[in-house]
Structure 1
Amino acid sequence: MEKTHQVVESVDGSIAMATAFPGHHEAVMDEDYKFLSKAIEEAYCGVECGDGGPFGAVIVSNGEVVVSCHNMVLKKTDPTAHAEVTAIREACKKLGKIELSDCEIYASCEPCPMCFGAIHLSRIKRLVYGAKAEAAIAIGFDDFIADALRGTGFYQKANLVIKQADQHGAIIAEQVFEKTKQKFQMY
C-alpha cells in the first residue's frame, strides 16, 4: 500500500500536514507514527508562531502525552531552548521528578548533541526521531549537529533505545524543513 504524505499551505500562508492517504487509519493506530506526527505538528507550529526553528518534541508515558513542545530559541532568547530540552524541562516540572525513565521522546528531527545529552541525563528510555540531521543541514543548520555524536560510540553507550521512524514518518518529518525554509531564517 503506497502512502503519500503532503504538506499543504493554506491561503493565509499557514502550513499544515495533510494526513489523508490510503491506510491512514492503520497508520494512526501505530503509536510511533501517532506521536511522531504530533512532534512534526509542533515543528510547524514553532515556525508559524515565530518561536524558533522547525523542531518539535513529544514526551509520552504509558501511551499518554505528557508534554508536546516546539523549539523556543527565538521566543525565549535562549539558544538552549530546543524542542527536546524544552519538552524535558516541562515534563520534569509536570511530573515532579528529574528522572523520566518511564517515558519515551518523539522528536521531529535527529537530536543535536545537547539534546541527546539531555535525553540521556533524564534517563528517557526510548527515542524515536523523524528526519535525519542532514535535513536540517540542508536549510542552513550547522553540520556539527550530525557529526558530533556519530562515530563516537556515544549512541551505543547510552542506555537508550534509538529508532528512526519508518520511511513514511521520516518523509513527513523531512518535509518540515523544505516547507518552512522560507519562513524561518536562522540568523
Structure 2
Amino acid sequence: MGITDEDLAFLERAVTLAREAVADGDGAFGSVLVDAAGVERFVDRNRETTLGDETRHPEFEIARWAAVNLTGAERASATVYTSGEHCPMCSAAHAWVGLGRIVYAASAAQIAEWRREVGMTPSPVAALAITTVAPGLVVDGPVERFADELRTLIVGEATTS
C-alpha cells in the first residue's frame, strides 16, 4: 500500500509511546489504533515490567480493546501503528479479532538482530514476520526513518536491565 504522511505521523506517535515505555522501565514498544476516519481510538505502550505480565504488549491490548469496543466492520477498516513488528502472540490476536492493516517502524528481524548484537537474552518466541503467523493481514514496514532511534531504545534496554 505504501507509507503516507499520515502513516508517518501515527508511527511517530507509536515511537513516542515506546520512549515512554523505556522511561518507565518497560520494553520499547508503543502502538496506536486508528479508525477509518483517522481518529485515534486506543493507544498503549509496553507494560510487561510495570505490570509484571509478559503478555502486556500494546498490540495485544489493542486487540483486546477492539474486540469489546468496535464492530467487526470497524475493526476491519482500522489501522494499527506500532513501533515494532508484532510478535507471534500479537499477530495471532490481531488476526483473530479481525483488525485491519498494520504499519510498523522496525521489523521483528531487525529487533532480534539489534538484541543479539549487544548480547541481550533472545525473545522466548521466534521473531516471525506478521504474515508468517497471519498470512491474510495487510502489513507495511519497516520504515527506515525510525530505525536509528528504535535501535537506540532497544539497545538501551541492555544497559538498564
Identify, as 1 or 2, the structure richer in strand. Answer: 1
* 1:161 has 2:135 as partner: no
Equivalent positions of 1:109-124 (< 5 A) are 109-124=84-99
Deviates more, 1:174-183 or 1:130-139: 174-183
- Paired letter, 1:167: E
1:143 is displaced (CA, Å) by: 7.8
Which runs of 5 or more structure 1 residues have no equivalent in the other structure?
A: 1-28
1:134 is displaced (CA, Å) by: 2.9
Once superposed, what is the RMSD of the aligned Cα atoms?
2.8
1:165 is displaced (CA, Å) by: 4.3
Contact 2:33 2:41 in 1 (8 A): yes
Sort the Cα spacing of 1:145 and 1:129 in 2 relative to 1 into closer, same or farther, 3 A: farther
| Residue 72 of structure 1, aligned match among 47, 70, 73 | 47
Sort the Cα spacing of 1:116 and 1:38 in 2 relative to 1 into closer, same or farther, 3 A: same
SS in structure 2 of the partner of residue 145 of structure 1: coil
Distance 1:84 1:136 in 2: 16
Q: Which consecutive aligned stretches of 4+ in structure 1 deviate over 6 angstroms post-superposition?
A: none
* TM-score, scaled to structure 1: 0.68
Sort the Cα spacing of 1:136 and 1:185 in 2 relative to 1 into closer, same or farther, 3 A: farther
Counterpart in the other structure of 1:56: 30
Sort the Cα spacing of 1:185 and 1:115 in 2 relative to 1 into closer, same or farther, 3 A: farther
| Residue 109 of structure 2, aligned match among 124, 131, 134 | 134
1:105 is displaced (CA, Å) by: 0.4
Contact 1:72 1:81 in 2 (8 A): yes
SS in structure 1 of the partner of residue 76 of structure 2: coil
Contact 2:29 2:82 in 1 (8 A): yes
1:123 is displaced (CA, Å) by: 0.6
SS in structure 2 of the partner of residue 31 of structure 1: helix
Distance 2:138 2:35 in 1: 15
List per-residue Cα deviations over 1:71-90 (Å, max 9, x = no partner). Answer: 11111111111121122223
* TM-score, scaled to structure 2: 0.78
* 1:176 has 2:153 as partner: no
Q: State percent identity of aligned pairs.
A: 27
* 1:101 has 2:76 as partner: yes
SS in structure 1 of the partner of residue 53 of structure 2: coil
Larger radius of gyration: 1
- Paired letter, 1:142: S
| Count of equivalent residues | 150
List per-residue Cα deviations over 1:139-178 (Å, max 9, x = no partner). Answer: 23428432x458x8544x32x211114432xxx1452232
